[in-house]
Structures are given as structure tokens and as C-alpha cells.
Amino acid sequence: MIKAILWDNDGLLVDTERVYFEANRQALLRAGIQLSQEQFADVSLRQGLSLLDLARERGWSSEQIAALREERDAHYLDLLRQGMHVFPEVEKTLKALHGKVRMAIVTSSQRVHFEAIHDKSKLLPYFEFVLTREDFEHGKPAPDGYLEGLRRLALSAADCIAIEDSERGLLSATAAGLRCAIIPNTQTAHSDFSRAWVVLPDVSQVIGLVRQG
């Protein structure tokens, strides 16, 4: 029996990946780097590494990269405040699951960005709690966020599932001992999801998973 679902956020509940790509693309132009969608998918969504470290290959110092990161994060926040699109079927699915299974969010997003994303999303009442990057030591693909989620739920990994859209998220969830259902998006569709419990075509299929247990 599935007692709880731990949800990823970006690229799964809300369409933020294209905005994060644009913020990084513009930042890296200052280092003379033309960021491609393929690089973004590989470095950020698959490996879980900082895209700004690409500037180190051009001789940028740690101090310069730190300043670039502040600029990138501020620009990303500005873009998020313009409004975020909730993926189709997400709210309907969360409403159907609410009260039948416990739910929480585990994201590598900074809290300030997360709050901007969900300022008008109307999704947060469906969740028991949210863990952002400040709530655990190592981001995905490390298991820290999911382990903290299990601790707060006071449940074992066997009682819960994770829902992810990326390879780094899949690695994080499985490293924590969780079964992980993947819902790919256009930027992650060609990733290696061989470790997934199941790959679903859309978020509404999560309802059936819970019913099956």
C-alpha cells in the first residue's frame, strides 16, 4: 500500500525548465559560451551539476562564477515572477489524490525561487510539507532530500513512491530506496530511465498507481 508520494517540482508540476535554461543561457553568454539545449539537458537535468561551471573552462575564477551565479539567480527570479504555467492535469490529479495519500514536495530549487513559482499556482494546499534546497545538505542526484522527506513523514521507503521527470531526480530517489515513477518532459525524454519503477505518459496516471498500491 502506498502511504505517501514525494513529488519533484520543476519540469513535473510546473513548466520552469525552459525559464531556467534561458537564465543560464544569458548568464553564460558573458563567458562567451553559447549554451545549447543538449548541454542543458546533460549537465543540469542528467548530471545535476552547475551549468555555470562551464565558465571555469574559459578561465573564470571561483569569485567570478559566484558573481555570475548571483546575477543568474536574480534574473531567474525576475522571470519566475512573470508567472509560471502549471502542467495540464496536475491540479486535477492532486485534487483526486488529496486526502487519500500523504503528499510532499522535494525540490532542489532555492526557497525564494520556489515561492515565486507557486505564488499563484494554487497547488501548495495539497501538500503536507515542502523541502527546498536549504533543507538538506546535498542536492539531487544525492539522496539527501528524499531521505529528509522520509524522516519527516516517519515512513519507510517501502511505504512511499517518488515522482520525477529527470535522470538526476531518478538517481536521487532510488538512492534513498524509493520506487520512482518517471513522467518525462520534452527536455528529459531521451534520458536513461532504466532504473525507474515505471515510466508514465502523463501525471494523471499517478492516480492509478496509488489505487494499485
Output the pLDDT for position 17.
87
What is residue 164's predicted lDDT score, i.e. its pLDDT? 98
> What separation in angstroms does the CA of 155 have from each of 146, 161, 170, 171, 174?
11, 11, 19, 20, 16
What proportion of the chain, given as a percentage, has pLDDT over 70? Answer: 100
What's the pLDDT score for residue 187?
86
Look at residue 84 in the predicted model and tell me its pLDDT.
Answer: 81
**Cα gap 20→79, rounded to integer Å:** 9
The pLDDT, as a whole number, for residue 145 is 98
Q: What pTM does this model have?
A: 0.90
* The CATH number of domain 4-15+85-212 is 3.40.50.1000: yes
Q: What is the pLDDT of residue 182?
A: 98
Which pLDDT tens digit goes with each residue over 6-35? 999 999 999 998 899 999 999 999 889 999
What pLDDT, in 10s, does the model give residues 87-100?
999 999 999 999 99
Residues of the chain with pLDDT under 70: none
